[in-house]
Amino acid sequence: MKILVIIFFLICCNNIEYTNKTSTFSDDIIPPKNSIDTFRMSIIERYLPADSCFRLPVDSNSFAFYLQHLPLKKFGESVKYYDGTVKENYNVYSSVIDMKISKKDLQQCADAVMRLRAEYLYKQKKYNQISFLFNGDKKYHSYLDYSSNDRSYNKFLNYMDYIFSYANTGSLYNQLKSIEISDMQIGDVFVKKGNPYGHAVIVVDMCCNMNGTKYFMLAQSYMPAQETQLLLNPKNNTVWYNLPLAGEVQTPEWRFSVNDLRRW
């Protein structure tokens, strides 16, 4: 019976039909704030879908699985800037991803997205896929070229600082391909190019209800460089965002168009 229910859910969520063409957000049930197990230390364990929702199964070697299982700091801990000072939480974030950052003002918004992608590929030993576009010379700069035969984690972190110095939201936007909002998957990125600044956030988890409506969770870093954090949805004060058909996705510190969604 359990297998049949899961199959039904998969069919629902992979064949979404939108009926309200003028509404920015659906009116379906929003997972309640109390669906948090504050003692758990990863995204997938701490943040529970509402009773009417479930998570789609993903391959254990996938980027989606890696993001869902990112380690978290203790619930209630504050985001730290690169210099160790605290980012006050004015209903911006719910939890902090437990990943050390450089003591330089480098790992900002697009950088955090690239860091997560590179960490996953490094863990999978897919070294040849770790490569990022620079904004200045419009060329890709690979981990293998930078590191030669040194596969140490310290060398990898040095490479990431190198990338952060020359890549930004503009180069990340150009590296990724545009995706329809209805096709959103875990690992997709909202990227807004800007002059002088843009912003980028990454989809780190998703769930779905019986009606086939998807909800998603976002993570970001920001300026100045700071630890990556799980964003609260200002519309409902939970980590879950409704999947919009049109219009904007409003995060605590930025607004994105649905047309800003891109994929590796």
pTM for this predicted structure: 0.89
pLDDT at 183: 96
What's the mean pLDDT in 154-169?
A: 98
| pLDDT tier, 4 (very low <50, low <70, confident <90, very high otherwise) | very low
Separation between Cα atoms, residue 44 and residue 60, nearest integer Å: 13
pLDDT at 34: 53
Longest dimension (CA), the chain: 56
Burial 55-64 (b: 16+ CB within 10 A, else e): bbebeeeebb
pLDDT at 29: 47
Q: For 183-198, how does the pLDDT look when each residue is reduced to its tens digit (9 = 90+)?
A: 999 999 999 998 778 9
- The percent of residues in the chain predicted with pLDDT above 70, rounded, is 86
| pLDDT tier, 13 (very low <50, low <70, confident <90, very high otherwise) | low
In this predicted structure, the answer to whether residue 182 has a pLDDT above a threshold of 60 is yes
Instruction: Region of 256 please: left (phi>0), alpha (psi -120 to 50) or beta.
Output: beta
Helix (H) or strand (E) segment spanning residue 112: helix 109-123
pLDDT at 210: 86
What's the mean pLDDT in 209-216?
A: 90
Q: Provide the mean pLDDT of the chain.
A: 89
Cis-peptide, bond into residue 196, ω within 30° of zero: yes
What's the mean pLDDT in 152-170?
A: 98
